[in-house]
Amino acid sequence: MEKDNEIHSVHQDEQKVVACATCPQHLVNLEWLPISYFGSIFSANAWLISINPSEREFTDRLGNLLTGDSQRFHIVTDFPDCCSRDEAAKNHAEQVFYMQDTIFRRVPYRPYFNRIGRFLADIHGFERNGDPLVPLISGATQGSKSYLYAHLDVVKCATKQPWSAIKPVDKELLIANCAVHLENQLQNYRNLELLLVNGKTAHDACVSLFRQRFRANLETRAIQDSSFRFCITWGKVRVGDRSFHSVAWTANIVRQRLKQEQYHLIVESVKKVLPLLSNNDRT
């Protein structure tokens, strides 16, 4: 009964994400439903967080809506009985969540998620052979430990403009509006053991949330090699009666044009931090 109540509570909070229409229409398309998560979040024990979904989750490179077998996520007009996000969340939540749960087994946006998958393979030290999405579909194994990843974003809506083109004041608004959703997810999913954060804006938003809301004692270190510099922040985050480990970095392993040696520096920096987190559990 307790487990059923927990699942019901999680579904209610995820429905709130889908129903959310707080952000102004000049920033987001209210026909596109917010994406609360990508992948098997109920089974996942690890998350990778970025800043927000791409418009390519809903459109092709020419801006045409994805339909049929190419469609990745639901939009409001998929449901004839719905005229708003709120109605779609109330009446068709299971269909919406099914698209999110199965995205990596159907039609993920490979130019983005293949890079994510290869990075996860590299930091956990297993061969890249086969589908790069293995860490997001069946999990990555490191020693005796396995991590099945889900992907989440700080901002749940795909924005009309690329994130880099949005005004700073509007970025702050989007992040502030979505903060409650990410906080609820951190509190709800008790399987979470490891959380990785990619990119400067996502790093700053998550580190701020962890320090201010959860009073996390995190360590930050600047990494520099020649003209390439980024910061990495790590530590344990306690949420109620449980905790998870977090590693965040300000470089962007997907969007940033990284030289091979720069990419490997990020990988090695994360790999060095992961054992430190495990050692902290034994002290």
- For 189-232, the three-class secondary structure string (H helix, E strand, C coil) is CCCCCEEEEECHHHHHHHHHHHHHHCCCCCEEEEEEECCEEEEE
What is the number of domains present in the chain? 1
> What is d(CA 133, CA 19) in angstroms, rounded to the nearest whole number?
29
Tens-digit pLDDT string for the chain (283 aa): 444 444 445 789 999 999 999 999 999 999 999 999 999 999 999 999 999 999 999 999 999 999 999 999 999 999 999 999 999 999 999 999 999 999 999 999 999 999 999 999 999 988 777 899 999 999 988 778 899 999 999 999 999 999 999 999 999 999 999 999 999 999 999 999 999 999 999 999 999 999 999 999 999 999 999 899 999 999 999 999 999 999 999 999 999 999 999 999 999 999 999 877 766 554 4
Determine the pLDDT at residue 9: 53
CATH assignment at residue 63? 3.40.470
φ/ψ of 75, rounded to 5, equals -125, 165
> What is d(CA 137, CA 139) in angstroms, rounded to the nearest whole number?
6
Strands 46-50 and 140-142: unpaired
Structural domain for 156, as ranges: 2-20+27-281
pTM for the model stands at 0.94
Q: Which two tokens stand for residue 167?
A: 């005004």
